[in-house]
């Protein structure tokens, strides 16, 4: 009978569990289902109660001391931002957090290149939350969107070449400061390959800021495969 009263109480407001001495398992579960942060008032909560709490509200994790790995994982799967409440998070938790929410990387201190790549793979603009992004992450971000070049900052000529190879569309953002001779070197290298993607050829052909005869350029510098893909592009328009 007493438990029925307690259940009724926490179903209205889970925080009421703070007034209950030695709550039963059912009462604990009902409390965190109703009010996830009420986990802070439960001493030594069972694993399933902790998981229920963070599944209901990811930020309930901040009220759980020494949370087991399973609880931390459930929290970041619910919301990547939960990583901010985990001290020295394991690599897999970091990766799971940024897979769930790319911008969760802002809560990870000095994320590894592996974690950066996971975040950028989720969404390219994750790059703007990383103070010192690795080259691989920058190239991946640029390959996904030419706008990512605006988050890269200073770069060497070699780095710029890798960006141009990844996405020719960045030219429209950097044209005024671009070494045109170097650009043509990159284009000759890229278009001379057999494995150039059709999308790259399309982007090159549609790059209006580059005022050259692009058909003739591919005729002169493109591989046989590139020339065939150009024909496919022209016929498919």
Assess contact for 29 and 35: CB atoms under 8 A: no
Is 32 exposed, middle or buried, given 0-12, 13-18 or 19+ CB atoms closer than 10 A? buried
How high is the pLDDT of residue 3?
A: 80
- C-alpha pair distances (Å), 112 with each of 108, 130, 198, 220, 221: 9, 10, 32, 42, 39
Read off the tokens for 127: 């790059």
Rounded CA gap, 77 and 108, in Å?
Answer: 16
Closest to 57 in 3D by CA, of 41, 38, 70, 29: 38
How high is the pLDDT of residue 2?
A: 80
Read off the tokens for 189: 């290298």
3-state DSSP percent of the chain in helix, strand and coil, to 5: 75, 0, 25
Assess contact for 148 and 119: CB atoms under 8 A: no
Q: What is the pLDDT of residues 65-123, one digit of tens each?
A: 999 999 999 999 999 999 999 999 999 999 999 999 999 999 999 999 999 999 999 99
Rounded CA gap, 72 and 67, in Å?
Answer: 6
Structural domain boundaries in the chain = 1-78, 154-237
Mean per-residue pLDDT pooled into runs of 10, the chain (237 residues): 85 95 96 98 97 98 97 98 98 98 97 98 96 96 97 93 98 95 97 97 96 96 97 90
Q: Hey, is 23 helix, strand or coil?
A: coil
Taking the CA of residue 120 as centre, how many other CA atoms within 13 Å lie in the half-sphere pointing to its CB? 26
Q: Hey, is 213 helix, strand or coil?
A: coil
Closest to 16 in 3D by CA, of 35, 33, 29: 35
Give me the DSSP letters along 2-21: HHHHHHHHHHH-GGGGGG-S
Q: Where are the beta strands (DSSP E) in the chain?
A: none
Closest to 151 in 3D by CA, of 129, 178, 179, 171: 129
């Amino acid at each position: 009978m007493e438990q029925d009263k307690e259940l009724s109480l926490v179903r209205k407001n889970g925080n009421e569990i703070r007034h209950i001495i030695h709550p039963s398992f059912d009462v604990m579960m009902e409390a965190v289902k109703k009010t996830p942060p009420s986990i802070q008032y439960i001493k030594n909560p069972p694993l399933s109660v902790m998981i229920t709490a963070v599944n209901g509200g990811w930020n309930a994790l901040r009220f759980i001391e020494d949370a087991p790995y399973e609880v931390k994982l459930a929290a970041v799967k619910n919301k990547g931002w939960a990583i901010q409440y985990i001290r020295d998070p394991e690599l897999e938790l970091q990766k799971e957090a940024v897979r769930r929410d790319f911008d969760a990387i802002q809560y990870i201190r000095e994320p590894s290149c592996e974690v950066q790549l996971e975040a950028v793979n989720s969404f390219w603009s994750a790059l703007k939350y990383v103070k010192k992004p690795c080259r691989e992450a920058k190239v991946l971000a640029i390959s996904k969107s030419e706008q990512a070049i605006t988050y890269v900052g200073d770069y060497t000529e070699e780095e710029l070449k890798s960006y141009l190879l990844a996405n020719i569309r960045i030219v429209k953002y950097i044209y005024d400061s671009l070494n045109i001779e170097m650009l043509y070197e990159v284009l000759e290298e890229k278009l001379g390959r057999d494995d150039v993607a059709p999308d790259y050829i399309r982007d090159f052909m549609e790059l209006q800021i580059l005022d050259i005869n692009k058909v003739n350029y591919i005729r002169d510098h493109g591989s046989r495969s590139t020339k065939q893909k150009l024909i496919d592009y022209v016929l498919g328009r």
